[in-house]
Amino acid sequence: MGIMDKFEENREIKKDEKYMKMALKEAQKAADINEVPIGCVIVRNDKVIAKAYNKRNTEKNVLAHAELLAIKQACKKTGDWRLEDCTMYITLEPCQMCSGAMVQARLKRAVIGAMNKKAGCAGSVLNILQMQEFNHQVDVTRGVLETECSEVISKFFADLRESDKQ
Amino acid sequence: MGIMDKFEENREIKKDEKYMKMALKEAQKAADINEVPIGCVIVRNDKVIAKAYNKRNTEKNVLAHAELLAIKQACKKTGDWRLEDCTMYITLEPCQMCSGAMVQARLKRAVIGAMNKKAGCAGSVLNILQMQEFNHQVDVTRGVLETECSEVISKFFADLRESDKQ
């Protein structure tokens, strides 16, 4: 790899980390209202067009996962149900519903923080984002700010267990 | 099978057909506004709590599939993100996003009209509704008013091809 390729690669990593930090801020907003802290940001042409955090309990709506709330915003912003030139940053590997929505929206790329071994559908239980049987596949980058993304979730559940004890 | 069992079974089939006819009416509403005709009804304790039809193009929103619109209504009606005692009637086998939402909502039962061999995720490409790996499985009945449910879709695409020719 030449020095310019190395430079370019480093620039892309820094960019991914920048947007993942924004997704982490969203996750923190969820934690602040006692929701499982998952945050999401959608970027198009280097501009943030949507950001959201999990509100399933607050809104009493199963569709209020961070990813679906962000997809809805992004469709509104672009005036199109297709998000073909968009990248989604998510702190946690998406579930079967959200992975499905990402394929349906023909999202270009997904950048994932922590994996969700028991329920994730971007490589753990299934890899819905990249099944050849469907009419679209999403490019996937995993493990961006993985430690921070894992910690925000494990801290939330540790705090929950602690408050349950009291 | 005793005569009373036979009677009860027949009663259940009639009930499924009654609600599937309502879902078909929803599908027709979609066709009337040039959307792919897919209709959905959600029933709880023998009462219809939600009905919806596909509006993806009209709303320019990938989340505006019939099933998600109905799930949103049902959550609002019941005040809960869980739809554990609900049955969904759908004219066409759901996609990966909608199947995922049905599992996330912990839906009790899904009654499906026509199958969707190339993209359906309730038995065709995948069977997301009944994977043992997830924390919930949905009871599934397939083929209720299958001919009518298939025809509404094939007529829509035949008309579309006809109008494209002109």
Q: Cβ distance A38 to A50 under 8 Å?
A: no
Show residues of chain B in contact with A99, CB under 8 Å. 96, 100
Nearest to B27 by CA among B54, B46, B7: B54
Instruction: Please write the tens of the pLDDT for every residue from A57-112.
Output: 999 999 999 999 999 999 999 999 999 999 999 999 999 999 999 999 999 999 99
HSE value, Cβ hemisphere, 13 Å, CA-based, for A100: 26
List active site positions of A.
67
Q: Provide the pLDDT confidence category of residue B142 given band limits of 50, 70 and 90.
A: very high
Nearest to A39 by CA among A158, A145, A118: A145
Separation CA A156–CA B6 (nearest Å)? 53
What pLDDT score does A163 carry? 87
Instruction: Please write the tens of the pLDDT for every residue from A123-154.
Output: 999 999 999 999 999 999 999 999 999 999 99
Q: Cβ distance B100 to B122 under 8 Å?
A: no
Q: Provide the pLDDT confidence category of residue B5 given band limits of 50, 70 and 90.
A: confident
| Cα angle value A145/A147/A153 (rounded, 5°) | 105
Contact across the interface for B62 and A128, Cβ inside 8 Å: no
Q: What residues contact residue A112 under an 8 Å CB cut-off, 6+ apart?
A: A90, A92, A93, A94, A122, A140, A141, A142, A143, A144
Instruction: Please write the tens of the pLDDT for every residue from B88-105.
Output: 999 999 999 999 999 999
Show residues of chain A in contact with B100, CB under 8 Å. 95-101, 121, 128
Contact across the interface for B131 and A121, Cβ inside 8 Å: no
Tell me which residue in A56, A65, A100 faces B96 most closely, judged by beta carbons: A100
Q: Provide the pLDDT confidence category of residue A3 given band limits of 50, 70 and 90.
A: confident
* Average pLDDT over every residue of B135-164: 96
* B132 lies within 8 A of chain A by CB: no
End-to-end CA separation in angstroms for chain B:
56
* A81 lies within 8 A of chain B by CB: yes
Separation CA A72–CA A58 (nearest Å)? 18
List active site positions of B.
67
The mean pLDDT value of chain B amounts to: 96
What pLDDT score does B56 carry? 97
Separation CA B51–CA B62 (nearest Å)? 18
Locate the chain A residue with the closest alpha carbon to B98. Answer: A97
Show residues of chain B in contact with A42, CB under 8 Å. none
What pLDDT score does B91 carry? 98
Alpha helix positions (H), A81-145: 96-104
Separation CA B22–CA B72 (nearest Å)? 18
Q: To the nearest whole angstrom, how far is the Cα of A4 from the nearest Cα of chain B?
A: 39
For residue A148, which amino acid is it? Answer: E
Q: Cβ distance A112 to A143 under 8 Å?
A: yes
Contact across the interface for A97 and B95, Cβ inside 8 Å: no
Nearest to B99 by CA among B134, B52, B74: B134
Contacts 24+ apart (CB under 8 A), A35-39: A36/A153, A36/A156, A37/A91, A37/A152, A37/A153, A37/A156, A38/A65, A38/A66, A38/A90, A38/A91, A38/A92, A38/A153, A39/A66, A39/A90, A39/A91
Mutate to test the interface with B, among A58, A62, A75, A95 (most CBs of B within 10 A): A62
Show residues of chain B in contact with A121, CB under 8 Å. 100
A5 or B27, greater pLDDT:
B27
Separation CA B149–CA B21 (nearest Å)? 9
Q: What residues contact residue A121 under an 8 Å CB cut-off, 6+ apart?
A: A93, A94, A95, A96, A98, A99, A100, A127, A128, A129, B100
What pLDDT score does B2 carry? 82
Residue A57: count of CB within 10 angstroms of its CB? 15
Q: What is the dihedral of CA B16, B19, B23, B24, to 10 degrees?
A: 80
HSE value, Cβ hemisphere, 13 Å, CA-based, for B34: 6
B63 or B3, greater pLDDT:
B63
Q: To the nearest whole angstrom, how far is the Cα of A131 from the nearest Cα of chain B?
A: 10
Q: Cβ distance B122 to B112 under 8 Å?
A: yes
What pLDDT score does B164 carry? 85
Instruction: Please write the tens of the pLDDT for every residue from B6-43.
Output: 888 888 999 999 999 999 999 999 999 999 999 999 99
pTM score of the predicted model:
0.96
